[in-house]
Amino acid sequence: AQKITQTQPGMFVQEKEAVTLDCTYDTSDPSYGLFWYKQPSSGEMIFLIYQGSYDQQNATEGRYSLNFQKARKSANLVISASQLGDSAMYFCAIKRGATNKLIFGTGTLLAVQP
C-alpha cells in the first residue's frame, strides 16, 4: 500500500524567506509520481510541481522546487522568496506509475507573515 506523511500541520514563514514543507512517502512500486498541490482559501486545488521516480534531477517550477531524496523516500517542497499569496494548504500526493489514483497526505497549512 502507498502512504504519504506530512508531519507539519502548520508552518509560519516571513515574507521573502524560503520555506521547506516536508513530505515522506512509502511505496513498494518502482514507478511512481509525486505531486504537490496548493489549496488557497478559495478552495481550488492548484497543481504546483511533479517529480517522477525515474527523474534524475529535482523538479523545479519557478519559485517551487522539489528536494527529492529517493533513498530516504522524501519529496520536500521548497518555496523560495515567499509571498503573502503563498499562504494556503499544501498537499503532497503519490500515484503509481500505471494508474492515476492519487494518495494524499494530510496537508500543511502555510502562513506567510509580512
Partner 1 sequence: EAGVTQFPSHSVIEKGQTVTLRCDPISGHDNLYWYRRVMGKEIKFLLHFVKESKQDESGMPNNRFLAERTGGTYSTLKVQPAELEDSGVYFCASSQAVGYGNTIYFGEGSWLTVV
CA distance 67 to 22: 9
Residue 46 bridge partners (DSSP): 38
CB closer to partner 1 out of 12 and 47: 47
Q: What are phi and psi of 75, to 5 degrees?
A: -145, 70
In contact, 72 and 47? CB cutoff 8 Å: no
CB closer to partner 1 out of 13 and 27: 27
Single out the residue of 58, 63, 78, 102 in contact with partner 1 (rule: CB under 8 A): 102
List the x/- string, 45-84, binding to partner 1 by CB under 8 A: xxx--x-x-x------------------------------
Cell of 83: 509571498
Binding residues (CB under 8 A) for partner 1: these are: 31, 33, 35, 37, 42-47, 50, 52, 54, 91, 93, 95, 97-107
